[in-house]
């Protein structure tokens, strides 16, 4: 009995195939040039299309400094408004007591201090807002701001009262945190990063 042609890949119906006959045991080799082209390799760090990799995220210490800038600005605005109301009320009392001319000099000085306080608050808000897209100039301006904030906080100790000393300690801590966050290497890397 004959099983047909041994080179026939289909063999005869119903007949068992012997190893080495019929279909090859391994898959057929792919011929180059057929089908879809191969996809390009992914970028090394899966950067999502950004040159040099994924965009940086703001370091945690800098986020803390940014929040502290906004908190300090809010407190300065509130303090400035309260001081302006108190100065205006004191000026009214002085005018009704008949010593308005002497009190006007002190009221004018008080309003200048309030304007300086509000200007510092606006400066802090602008610096905090520029942290995400600002360059090295924002870092330098924040260093100057925090140094002035530390110096003004030291001035609280000259008052001699306990509440001024507590305010000075809190001011030194806040100014120190902001200053420390601006002079480390992560701040330099953040503000010198490429922007797209």
Q: Which residue has the tokens 């001035």?
A: 155
Considering the domain boundaries, does residue 97 fall inside one?
yes
Cβ atoms 54, 48 nearer than 8 A = yes
Which pLDDT belongs to residue 20?
56
Considering the domain boundaries, does residue 29 fall inside one?
no
Considering the domain boundaries, does residue 28 fall inside one?
no
Whole domain around residue 64: which residue ranges?
Answer: 60-191
- Triad 36, 40, 43: Cα angle to 5°: 155
Which pLDDT belongs to residue 179?
94
Considering the domain boundaries, does residue 43 fall inside one?
no
Q: pLDDT digits over 96-116, tens only?
A: 877 767 777 888 888 898 999
Considering the domain boundaries, does residue 34 fall inside one?
no
Domain count, the chain: 1
Considering the domain boundaries, does residue 145 fall inside one?
yes
Considering the domain boundaries, does residue 127 fall inside one?
yes
Considering the domain boundaries, does residue 82 fall inside one?
yes
Q: Walk along the chain (196 residues) in steps of 10 and give the mean pLDDT of each run.
A: 62 55 58 62 50 67 92 93 90 78 80 91 94 88 94 83 85 93 89 78
């Amino acid at each position: 009995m004959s099983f047909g042609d041994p080179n026939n890949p289909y063999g005869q119906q119903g007949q068992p195939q012997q190893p080495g006959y019929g279909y090859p045991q391994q898959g057929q080799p792919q011929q180059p040039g057929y089908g879809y082209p191969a996809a390009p390799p992914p970028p090394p760090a899966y950067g999502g299309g950004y040159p040099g990799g994924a965009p940086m995220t703001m370091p945690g210490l800098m986020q803390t400094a940014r929040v502290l800038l906004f908190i300090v600005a809010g407190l300065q605005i509130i303090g400035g408004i309260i001081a302006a109301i108190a100065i205006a009320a004191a000026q009214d009392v002085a005018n009704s007591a008949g010593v308005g001319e002497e009190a006007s000099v002190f009221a004018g000085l008080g309003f200048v201090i309030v304007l300086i306080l509000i200007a510092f608050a606006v400066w802090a808000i602008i610096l905090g807002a520029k942290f995400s897209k600002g360059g090295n100039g924002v870092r330098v301006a924040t260093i100057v701001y925090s140094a002035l904030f530390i110096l003004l906080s030291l001035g609280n100790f000259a008052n001699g009262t306990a509440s001024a000393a507590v305010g000075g300690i809190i001011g030194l801590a806040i100014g120190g945190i902001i200053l420390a966050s601006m002079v480390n290497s992560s701040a330099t890397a953040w503000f010198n990063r490429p922007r797209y």
